Amino acid sequence: MVTPSTDWDYIVVGGGAAGSALATRISENSAARVLLLEAGKDIRPADRPQNFAGRTFDLDMAAQPDFWWHGLETRIHPGLDPVPFQAGRGVGGTSQVNGLFSIRGVRDDFDRWVARGAAGWSFDEVLPYYRKLEDDHDFPDAPYHGRGGPLPVYREPQEDWGGVDLAFRDAALGMGVAWHDDANAPDSTGLSPFPMHLRDGKRVAANDGYLEPARGRGNLTVRGEALVDSVTFAPDRSTVTGVRLAGGETVPLAPGGEVILAAGGTLSPAVLVRSGIGTSPDLRRLGVEQVVELPVGQELTEHPFIVLALPIPPDRAASPFGRTVNVTWRYSSGLGETGFNDMMIIPNNGWLNTPGVCIWQMHAVSRGRLVFTSRDPLAGPFVEMRMLTDQSDALRAKDALERVGELVHQPAFRSLLAGRPELPSAEELPRVTFASHHVATTARMGSPDDATTVVDPDCRVLGVEGLRVIDQSVMPEVIRGNPLLTVLMLAERMADRIKASHG
């Protein structure tokens, strides 16, 4: 069945952060007919549940099932059993359910991107787009920040921090950790307030900031509950002509149009593989005819998130607004070639009902992969993380554990404890390690002559015409920050390039 409506100049697949921004910016050209397809429901911000509205976040998928993908699985470490893989679903995607964390990548991330073949993505070239997307509450006039952009960035005043936040701050300062007011200043390191995408105490997801103001445009259509199975091709199998939905309906492109996959680091690669774009073994396993051989789903990267519970009475841990964390300690471990701010340690005021401290490995060397086990678009790939399997990651996690041990014995932190802190051994860390919802590098951007590349520096899929991937799957390396701002930066920059190339 073919959709009876007009052909589309752009079909954006996935209504999360990248898709919301892309559809909004591309449709600023009134001559471009833009269709945004989202597998989940098109739930408007006014209908967002209260547990996603403020400073808190709720990872209970059963409590709000419409906001999550269900049935996906991951294995964090080879020695552990599979667990549910959490990914946001519905317009707004994970930006509606995440922890509100809003830290950019660091300068060195983009130097490394360029070195790995992503020409044109240096820090100086991406900074204007970080500024464009941003409405910084605290530093709007800084030359590296923005004012009036779609996404607010806010830092909670210290008088409204939680008990663990305050003890953590004082203990880290007691260890000689430097203070910096702004974690998103280009060379910031040390202890800083944690920036959040929050305004007036309310979450501002990507669909709030981007899509809602654009809803009235006659050239933009948003369609929920439209699960894309695959892209369709012309008879020559080299030019994309549209998409096929899970029910069999096809949605056509206008001549010269483009499909843009923006479904995230796990699900955009799945669409590619179901479309015949991937490795020969993966395609043979699924019985899919190959269109082009590309290393889709390989070299997966994630940020390991290690949760360390401590004997802190809940009433002493609580924050005024129920916020889990308001401060971060970023540092350079100096272990291996992982660069500036490769590690982060944060307090936990009560997430998972376990007050304590968390270690975040912001540069991960360990590599996993997506295992494509089913042709069913609802099934999705199995996410084999392989966290902490590289010696460098294990060494830096052990070093961070030792730093936490020193921190919790500082007088400022020790006074918060109701008993003796018992931290796990380095060998036990995998069992307290979680995914961060930051899967990246699964459709890597790079030079077309590099065997690890899936998309070129304009995010065009190699070997076919009319198909791009624009989301965190194209990152050459995962950035040393939370991905939301960088995903929006990617979308902003590519929307400008797309509009310029099509007039």
* Residue of 379, 377, 374, 371 whose CA lies nearest to 229: 377
Could you tell me how far CA 18 lies from the centroid of its own chain?
10
- Residues facing 259 on adjacent strands: 11, 467
For the chain, domain boundaries? 1-155+204-301+369-378+439-503, 156-193+305-363+388-434
Could you read off the pLDDT of 382-422 as tens digits, one per residue? Answer: 999 999 999 999 999 999 999 999 999 999 999 999 999 99
For the domain 1-155+204-301+369-378+439-503, what is the CATH code?
Answer: 3.50.50.60
| Structure token pair of residue 459 | 């995010």
What confidence score (pLDDT) does residue 6 get?
A: 64
Tell the burial category of 90 from Cβ atoms under 10 Å away from its Cβ (0-12, 13-18, 19+).
buried
Determine the distance from the C-alpha atom of residue 434 to the mean position of all C-alpha atoms in its chain, rounded to a whole number: 15
Q: Which residues of the chain have pLDDT under 70?
A: 1-6, 503
Same topology for domains 1-155+204-301+369-378+439-503 and 156-193+305-363+388-434, yes or no? no
What is the model's pTM? 0.96
Residue 316 structure tokens: 């002493």
* Pair 367, 359: CB distance under 8 Å: no
State how far the Cα of 464 lies from the Cα of 292, in Å rounded to an integer. Answer: 8
Q: pLDDT of 16-60, one tens digit each?
A: 999 999 999 999 999 999 999 999 999 888 888 887 888 887 778
pLDDT score recorded for residue 5: 54
Please tell me the CATH code under which domain 156-193+305-363+388-434 is placed: 3.30.410.40
Sign of CA dihedral 372, 71, 352, 182: positive
Q: Strand 190-193 vs strand 327-331: parallel, antiparallel, or unpaired?
A: antiparallel
Query: Using one digit for the tens of pLDDT, what is the confidence trace for 130-140?
Result: 999 999 999 99
Strand, helix or coil for residue 268? helix
For 470, the token pair is 């624009």
pLDDT in tens, 163-213: 999 999 999 999 999 999 999 999 999 999 999 999 999 999 999 999 999
In angstroms, what CA-CA distances link 91 with 8, 38, 190, 208, 224? 20, 6, 35, 10, 7
Q: What is the pLDDT of residue 3?
A: 47
